[in-house]
Chains A and B, each alone.
Chain A
Amino acid sequence: MVLLGLLERGPGHGYELKSAHDDWFPSAKPLAFGQVYATLARLERDGLVEAVETHQESGPERTVYALTDEGHAALRQWLAEPEAPAAYAADDLVRKTVTALRLGLDRARFLDRQHAAHMALMRELTGQRAEVAEPGARIALDHRLAHLDADLRWLQETRERMNRDGVAS
């Protein structure tokens, strides 16, 4: 769907779309070329994009894709539906923390290490963020920072709760 969003701005070929994606989401894993082409092929099959031009300059052959009317509509529809708030309750951090606390295996050190790991990533992203002036890219990084911040607050509350009440195994 993000590819449709990128094409909403105007036609583009795979490499341009990959670059634009990575600009939009600097904190996400860079998009693999294979993934871009596979997705474009699927979107073309579904009638959401179409090849409008093929040209070859010095490099490999490049196909320029554009949104079809159906593609525009699908994008509008996607944006019109709010994203279901994600339940993070079952993610690996919680599983590991709960397991560590319930088993009582080196629990204080576990929380220390987790805190340090989160803080290291936050520091790295904060550094990246300072280099990024464009507000849209900052907003994408902010999402990760806000979640890390929430995790850290939860870890701290967990430590306080554990110190006060202990945790049953």
Chain B
Amino acid sequence: MTETEVVVAASGVQLSFGSTPALRGASISVARGELVALTGPSGSGKSTLMHCLAGVLLPDAGVVTFAGRRLDEMSADERTLLRRRHIGLVLQFGQLVPELTALENVALPLLLDGRGRKNVEQAARQWLEQLGVADRAGIRPPAMSGGEQQRVAIARALVTSPDVVLADEPTGSLDTVTGELALEVLVKATRETGAALVVVTHDHRVSAWMDREVVLRDGAVEAPVDAAP
């Protein structure tokens, strides 16, 4: 993997919450367009590592880079811009703004970025359509099903054409069939944009959708294992 192909990477990342170490030298490298499952038992540090990749958490030691740039050398504003323009986030419960309609939720990242309202609305509408929830455009999240909310959240993550989508247990709050549909939509839509996708999951069926699985144990990445014959 050459340096230019790597979209986001962590190297030797350590992070403690108080006296409890969450990451003890975790490393991961994600190539452009790659689909990676981040798995491991509860408390292994997989969500923490994802939040470090997103620049939401800054590690105590070690380096996180985005397209070769160190996140710790950016200002807080630069990191916010990076997240807004280049990273799509999908969390377990969608984390939509309940007071806004589906359309406004999807448009939000573009509006925050100062884009013109007309173009923004058009882009948001296109994504809602692509994810099969165009008819929910004027509805607020509390009136939608969990599956619909998650589709709107996926639309919001993809509307900025990010380089990488980071998803933390994106199907965790959904029943199996609804979750699978949401995952299918997430994977297909992400592939179409050419973005990389990192999904934190404890569900092997979710992992099986990805190109590669990275297993965390006790805050570090396990040595990759050759697939048995």
Interface residues in chain A, defined as those with a beta carbon under 8 Å from any beta carbon in chain B: 109, 112-120, 122-123, 125-126, 130, 145, 148-149, 152-153, 156, 160
Q: List 28 A-B contacts (CB under 8 A).
A: A109-B225, A112-B222, A112-B225, A113-B226, A113-B228, A115-B215, A115-B225, A116-B225, A116-B226, A116-B227, A117-B227, A118-B204, A119-B227, A120-B228, A122-B205, A122-B207, A123-B210, A125-B208, A126-B205, A126-B209, A145-B205, A145-B208, A148-B204, A149-B203, A149-B204, A149-B205, A152-B204, A160-B41
User: CA separation between A67 and B205, bound complex, in Å?
Assistant: 40
Q: How far is the CA of A117 from the CA of B205 in the complex (A)?
A: 14
Query: Please, how many angstroms separate the alpha-carbon atoms of A156 and B228 in the complex?
Result: 17
> Which A residues touch B208, using CB under 8 A?
119, 122-123, 125-126, 145
The answer, yes or no, to whether B213 is at the interface (CB within 8 Å) is yes
Does B99 sit within 8 A of A, measured CB to CB?
Answer: no
Are A116's CB and B228's CB within 8 A?
yes
Supply 6 further A-B pairs (C-beta < 8 A) apart from A113-B226, A122-B207.
A112-B225, A114-B228, A119-B204, A119-B207, A122-B204, A123-B210
Q: Is B184 an interface residue (CB 8 A)?
A: yes
Interface core residue of B41, B203, B225 (most chain A CB under 10 Å): B225
